[in-house]
Structure 1
Amino acid sequence: MPKDLVPELLARATEVLEREFSGLPGFETARRSDADAGAMAAVLEETARRLEDNYPYFHPLYAGQMLKPPHPVARAAYALAMTINPNNHARDGGRASSAMEIEAVAEIAGMFGWSEYLGHLTSGGTMANLEALWVAGQMAPGKRIIGSEQAHYTHHRVSAVLKLEYSSVAADRRGRMRLDALETELSKGDVGTVVVTLGTTAVGAVDPLPEILELRERYGFRVHVDAAYGGYFKLIEDALDEPARRAYAAIGQADSIVIDPHKHGLQPYGCGCVLFRDPGVGRFYKHDSPYTYFTSKELHLGEISLECSRAGAAAVALWTTQRLLPLKPGGEFARGLAAGRRAAAELDRRLRADERFEVLTAGGPELDIVVWKMKAATAEQASERGQSIFSACAGRNLHLALVQLPQFWFGPADDASPLDGHVTCLRSVLMKPEHEAWLDRIWNELSAACGEAG
């Protein structure tokens, strides 16, 4: 592991922060004996040993789930903020961090072309999507929420929490929402909101947003874009294939957007973000608090969010990271996304050229997720081989993921009677910029694992 810059960066920044408060009178803190220090050191060493029971999420050979290490500057900024431990619910709990959150969220909204909006950070994508669907229910009471069968299970779950009816729409062979199936549901006249996913969790599919927006003109419904995983690809939309490029070009026409900085945004967990195109939806959040909102006439973030206490340190880390790596096309942050995208395209190319594997018939990865199955006579045999190779790869320190997909996605495109059932596939999320340089090693380990698994 390369030298960790965080302790050095944090020590220097802590000195600056301490000077900012040097005008305060001194006071006695609780004294800690040498024995206390020894006990803390011992328990921290025990903690470190316990943490060894993890996959190496930070390493390029970890290419499984959506786990991207936070940037060193985000880690340092988060730890620095914990010196104060701000709470971004109200200004008197997190004055500086509230202002930093507002500025950081404005840059994210600007990435989507929004200058007027309502938005804030959340503890993650689940809470962000809950707020978006809660507002949707307020705007269209009694109407259904619908989304692709490949949309994240969050939507079905939080709809149930909100007592909103939710229905799934069939997906095509690439995991995108089928427009014909969508229109069948819309024609029933009871749909209030359509959840459009730009980057599904399973295969990174991008729903056809432009065509869905056209249907909105005819049927009148809200469009919520779940871009928790895929939102930052807006910065490199010109590098995407034409359907995905068109979808990202249209994202600013959505009614609400969710994006997770703790996925591609180089942030520690948990850091999500919800945005509404109409600032007027803030009226649904209006509430009274006799002890919270009177120390400042400026906006308190608790006045526009369902969550109460939230870690101001998350906002500080995000603001600091975006200060170092602005969200602009062609910048260093965007180049990191492009590197992962190229790595995924190259892995897909190699898989297609190798007779041991089968990839999705309809085309290559839309973002940076690659999915393939082992070639076998039956779906059961392919699933068993996939499981074996997954384990063999882990034994070689190459960590992939598994996903179950409809078997017919791998069949002939013109098959009139597609195969039923599901098949267990191998899945790789190549979201680290380093994955591009490590792709030969990843490929060699995968090939060797195939030989070991038989």
Structure 2
Amino acid sequence: MYKQTFLPGKYPHGHEYVKQWAALGSWFLGPKAENIDVFNNLAIEAFKGHANFRQNYFPTDSAYITTDITATDAYKSEKKQLEQELATMVEQLKNSTPMFSVRFEGHMNWDTTMPGNLGYLAALLYNANNVANEASPVTTPYEIEVGNQLCEMLGYKFFDPKPDPWGHITSCGSIANIEAMWACRNIKYYPFCVQKALNESKELAGAKNFEVYVPRLQSKQKLVDLSNWDLLNLDIDDIVAMPAEVIDMCDGVTSDDYSKIVDKNNLANLGWWDFMEMYGLKKGPVVLSPMTNHYSWPKAAIMLGIGQGNIIGIDFDENARMDIKDLKRKLDYCLKTETPVISVVAVIGTTEESAVDPLADIVDCRNEYKKQGINFAINADAAWGGYFMTMLHEPTQNRWKSTAKIPVFPLSDYTTRHLLSMRDADTITVDPHKSGFCPYPAGGLCYRNGNMRGFVQVEASVVYHQGLDPSVGIWGIEGSKPGAAPAGVLLSHRVIGLDKLGYGRILGQCTLGAKLFYCVWTMLAKEDDNFVCVPMKPLPSNMTLKQAIVSIKKHIMNKEFNDFQEDPVAMEFLKVIGPDTLINAFAVNLKDNTDLGVCNNINFEIFRRLSHTNPHENVMRVPLILTSSQLRPMIFGKAVKQFKERLGLPANTDGELGFLINTVMNPWVAELQKIREIGGIFRQTVLDAIGKVTDTPDLHGFVSPDMITDTGDLFGDHLPMFTMPAHQYHAIAKFNVPDQNAVTLIQGKYKEQSQLSPGKRLPIIFGNTEKSGLQNFLEDAMNKALDMDFFVGPPSATNTPFLTTKVKVLDIPRRKHFDMTLKDYPAKLTYFMYGTPGNAYLSHNMSVRPDVHQVVKLDKKPADVPDILLELGIDVTINNLEGKPLYIDGKIVDPLQLQEYSISYISIGGIIAQSTIYMTNDDAKVWFNVVDE
């Protein structure tokens, strides 16, 4: 028998955590796989342990895969095939969504913990099936232990006079939600079959006078005398206790006898039609759920025969939280019409708006209404928000031996109150594979009264054998279920711990990061910008936007976490602003734009650039990953109207409003330097997206920095202008000319120019033949080859193209709209370096008008610059040159007067590296032009 751990403090670790980041560093593989050696060693140990188990199970048994087999061509061929196919798959998987990165801020998903992964891998090799004990004698107790831990974490109590809580692992939160509704539905209608049995069965005559508490009457009454309406509104605990209490009143009646008598007439056995007819019921039940609910709730209603139309939506406020007033209006209607309410759903952390419904108020509401005659279960859907309870659990003495101050994170008083109220919910859905950072599949469902699970019990004798430890497989929806899932969750719980020093530390830092992101989104747009960025969650009613920005600048920006901790004003500000949990919803609009379509187009463009859904697209070109959704006026009501108003749109505009979502599950972004960096990436994407939507179609030219290759590849550096919005770009693309004859002609023109003296040489310039926005053209050319004109030197009325041919875009290393709000040149001269392992090029980063557009071909790739950085493109700084233009005799001239310069750049791992660039060849200076002097 395995020892079961209930309390968060009962973990054999966790002493003297003083440094905030140190503990986290041992729990994850790391955004840059920093712990790969640790992980590899431990994973190998897990695999060795499994191999040892195989070898020592009846060790005298002979081997089956002998050297005679491994020496055959057939074996070698299949082994080679395995190696090749695995290598292919490993390479393909590298284009997966980089959820481990600090740049991933999209869905409710991030890296998984090392103990979670290692526990999963260790158990995976045994392929245990938790459907039955004999298929999982080790991992079934693991699941029972995890269920107990989850119950305790969520606030359910053990060893009270009432039955203990009970929890188990499901494949996902959807399955847990469906099971919760299933159990509550069966329990709601169970008193009918008990009443019928007491009236008709001689075997149960001893319980004829069985009494049950009737909330409407606030007294006990005989069950056989109750009306249908009272039968539908009893307390769950009283219903669940009926079997045991009735059996106790009947001499000689076993639980099997009772079940045969009662269950034949219950809803689970008869089905809706026969059940309603048998008991003279005319009205079907409803479930009351916020409009923000997860799609699994209507799915559950469909599957259980309740009907999607009987999920009655409750309005919500501007914070996307359930409106208690509207809940009461719907309950009043159900009471008036005697419509049974199976349950009220409270979402503890919505998946898009990050809202926590007012669960404590829902509990108070139930207490109020059941005295009036209507009663219901409460289902807390805390699939996302359940683990936030760890932020509220104090560590026990044996886990915290240091006198150092435990970090406090800015969880709002509102969220805290309603998290603590989960202990009063009848069921709680919680997903370890969400905010528990565990591998899929690991959803979970916990019952406040563990005996509730008996109402969704289905046994098959061929699978389930009675024993001291009942299988978790007899309860719930699933049949086969991996024992590896609870193994991973259990090891993660044991190592990290379910209190402030464990999961509470991870989620606390994520909470801080989410609040800091809220600050960034709030003040992203500068005063001179042509756009606004507005979080969906409004500021507190007593705080203006101007006041918020002042507080952010004074108390938040340029400070570290320790500074926040010592600043009560900063901590209070962070508590009251931002999301209830870790999700920021926000949108961008042009200033003075009242067209919903334009606003939606901009947000869609931002999302399209900051998402990765196509495995054939290069994820390395996605600098940040967010997600998006839409607000539907019919569902979101006044909340969407208020959000539109704050975006500058008419409140009554018809149509859905698109918005963006960033989910902060990365504890390492809880530092302002990284958040500001990500904010800068987002800001640049906004400028690019606005350009894409608003640019006027035009012709665009590209300077080629080098000879076209024999295979038709060449780079092109866009010719920019400050004065024309459609040309306000620093853009570089890698093109391909598929026509070999055209390639030969271009090479010939390039060679002709190379034979001239440096002062007379002209670059190859090419451009689109049909007017288009620059970004549209580049993206269209990635999908199919488009016509482009080729010139020797700048095109003009007298300089006509020497060639028109099809050209395709292979890659876009640089696409950056100018930030027209900039007032000053950078302190140092910067260039964008790009190329191939054999050739490196520089393109000057233009900033303020006037500036220079310069393209340089270096003699060779700078030493120590990794090939991958050259392929992706990097910004480099010329250390000893100022960023403003160089003037000689009153004219702007080439700033690169020497043949070599020292440069600095950010290399792999974020390290500042140094190198040297050389420009000794007479073909180095490809292009120089003063722009808008």
TM-score interval, normalised by the smaller of the two chains: over 0.9
Is residue 2:142 matched to residue 1:95? no
SS of the residue 1:389 aligns to: helix
State how 1:21-60 maps to structure 2 within 5 Å: 22-25=56-59, 26-30=61-65, 31=69, 33-60=75-102
> Partner of 2:604: helix, strand, or coil?
helix
Check if 1:370 corresponds to 2:584.
yes
Shift of 1:20: 4.6
Distance in 1 separating the partners of 2:537 and 2:78: 62
From 426, 433, 436, give the equivalent of 1:265: 436
Aligned to 1:2: 33
Matched, 1:162 2:304: yes
> For residues 392 and 87 of structure 1, what CA distance do their matches in structure 2 show?
42
Residue in 1 that maps onto 2:811 = none
1:103-135 superposed Cα distances (whole Å, 9 cap, x missing partner)? 111111111222221221101111111100001
> How big is the shift at 1:78?
1.3
- The superposition leaves residues 264-283 of structure 1 with CA deviations (integer Å, 9 ceiling, x where unpaired) of 11211111000111122132
Cα gap change, 1:27 to 1:178, in 2 (>3 Å): farther
CA distance in 1 between partners of 2:314 and 2:347 (Å): 12
3-state DSSP of counterpart to 1:397: coil
8 Å CA contact 2:150, 2:446 repeated in 1? no
Structure 2 CA distance for aligned equivalents of residues 205 and 337 of structure 1:
16
Could you report, residue by residue, the CA deviation over 1:144-199 in whole angstroms, capped at 9, with x for unpaired residues? 11111111111011111111132211111111111111111111222220010000
Please, which of 379, 383, 386 is the counterpart of residue 600 of structure 2? Answer: 383
Specify the SS of the correspondent of 2:506: helix
Q: Which residue of 2 aligns with 1:109?
A: 151
Q: What are the residue-to-residue correspondences of 1:420-431 with 2, within 5 Å?
A: 420=653, 421-431=655-665
Matches of 1:390 and 1:293, distance apart in 2: 49
Greater shift, 351-360 or 184-193, is seen at 351-360
For residues 311-330 of structure 1, the C-alpha deviation after alignment (integer angstroms, 9 at most, x for no partner) is 000011111111111111x2
Contact kept, 8 Å, 2:510 with 2:582, in 1: the verdict is yes
1:146 corresponds in structure 2 to: 288
Matched, 1:131 2:179: yes
SS at match of 2:444: strand
Distance (Å, rounded) in 1 between the aligned partners of 2:669 and 2:327: 36
SS of the residue corresponding to residue 101 of structure 2 reads coil
Residues 400-421 of structure 1 deviation map (CA, whole Å, 9 limit, x = unaligned):
11121253131569x9x94344
Distance of 2:322 and 2:181 partners within structure 1? 19
What do the CA deviations read for 1:284-312 (whole angstroms, capped 9, x no partner)?
Answer: 13334222232733111112222111000
For residue 140 of structure 1, give the secondary structure of its aligned residue in structure 2.
helix
Partners of 1:325 and 1:16 lie apart in 2 by 23
Q: For residues 412 and 208 of structure 1, what CA distance do their matches in structure 2 show?
A: 25
**Structure 2 gaps, min length 5:** 1-31, 159-163, 190-283, 370-374, 393-408, 526-531, 540-577, 612-620, 692-933
1:338 and 2:514 aligned: no
Root-mean-square deviation (Å): 2.1
Q: Following TM superposition, by how much is the alpha carbon of 1:17 offset from its aligned partner in structure 2, in angstroms?
A: 3.9
Does the 8 A contact of 1:204 with 1:367 survive in 2?
yes
Cα distance in 2 for residues equivalent to 1:361 and 1:423? 15
Please say if residues 187 and 455 of structure 2, whose CA atoms lie closer than 8 Å, have aligned partners that are also in contact. Answer: no
Per the alignment, residue 208 of structure 1 pairs with 358
Counterpart amino acid of 2:33? P
Distance change in 2, residues 1:109/1:239 (3 Å):
farther
Q: Which moved more, 1:419-428 or 1:148-157?
A: 419-428
Residue in 2 that maps onto 1:75: 117
Q: What pairs with 1:290-309 in structure 2 (closer than 5 Å)?
A: 290-294=461-465, 296-309=467-480
1:365 deviates by 1.0
How far the C-alpha of 1:23 sits from its partner, in A, is: 4.6
Counterpart amino acid of residue 225 in structure 1: A
Structure 1 unaligned regions, length at least 5:
none
Matches within 5 A, 1:435-454: 435-437=669-671, 438-453=674-689, 454=691
Q: Spell out, residue by residue over 1:380-410, the C-alpha distance to the aligned partner (whole angstroms, 9 max, x if none).
A: 2221111122234454420111121253131
Matched, 1:249 2:249: no
* Distance in structure 2 (CA, Å) of the matches to 1:358 and 1:289: 56
Larger relative contact order (C-alpha < 8 A, sep ≥ 6)? 1
CA distance in 2, matches of 1:296, 1:35: 48
Contact 2:153-2:390 within 8 A present in 1 as well: yes
Match of 2:382 in 1: 227
Query: Is the Cα–Cα contact under 8 Å of residues 7 and 76 in structure 1 kept in the other structure?
Result: no
3-state DSSP of counterpart to 2:586? strand
The letter for the 1-side match of 2:587 is K
Deviating more after overlay: 9-18 vs 340-349: 9-18
> C-alpha deviations, 1:73-129, integer Å up to 9, x for none?
222221221221100011100011011111111111111222221221101111111
Give the 3-state SS of the residue equivalent to 2:480 in structure 1: coil
Task: Looking at secondary structure, tell me which structure has more strand per residue.
Answer: 2
- Give the drift of 1:215: 0.9
TM-score by length of 1: 0.94
CA, structure 1 residues 179+84, in 2 after alignment: closer, same or farther (shift >3 Å)? same
In 2, are the aligned partners of 1:389 and 1:450 still within 8 Å (CA)?
Answer: yes
What corresponds to 1:120 in structure 2? 168
Equivalent position amino acid for 1:143 in 2 = P
Moved more, 3-12 or 128-137: 3-12
SS of match in other structure, 1:177: coil
Per-residue CA shift, 1:39-86, capped at 9, x if unaligned?
A: 111111121233234221111101111112211222222122122110
Checking the alignment, whether the CA contact within 8 Å between 1:6 and 1:73 is kept in structure 2 is: no
Q: In 1, distance between residues paired with 2:64 and 2:95?
A: 36
Q: Residue type matched to 1:72 in 2? A: M
Alignment partner, residue 397 of structure 1: 623
Matching residue of 2:495: 324
**SS where residue 138 of structure 2 aligns?**
helix
Deviations 1:207-243 (A, max 9, x none): 0111111111122211000000111111225742122
- Tell me, yes or no, if structure 1 residue 61 matches structure 2 residue 294: no
- Name the aligned partner's letter for residue 186 of structure 1: L
Separation in structure 1 between the aligned mates of residue 416 and residue 119 of structure 2, nearest angstrom? 34
Match of 2:568 in 1: none
Kindly provide the amino acid, as one letter, of the partner of residue 538 in structure 2: A
Q: Secondary structure at the match of 1:2?
A: coil
- For residue 342 of structure 2, what is the aligned residue in structure 1? 192
Is this contact kept in 2: 1:121–1:273, CA < 8 A? yes
CA distance in 2, matches of 1:304, 1:288: 8
The 8 Å contact of residues 173 and 408 in structure 1, kept in 2 or not, is answered as: no
Alignment of 1:351-366 (within 5 A): 351-355=521-525, 356-360=532-536, 362-363=538-539, 364-366=578-580
* Alpha-carbon distance change, 409 to 53 in structure 1, aligned in 2, over 3 angstroms: farther
TM-score normalised by the chain length of structure 2: 0.47
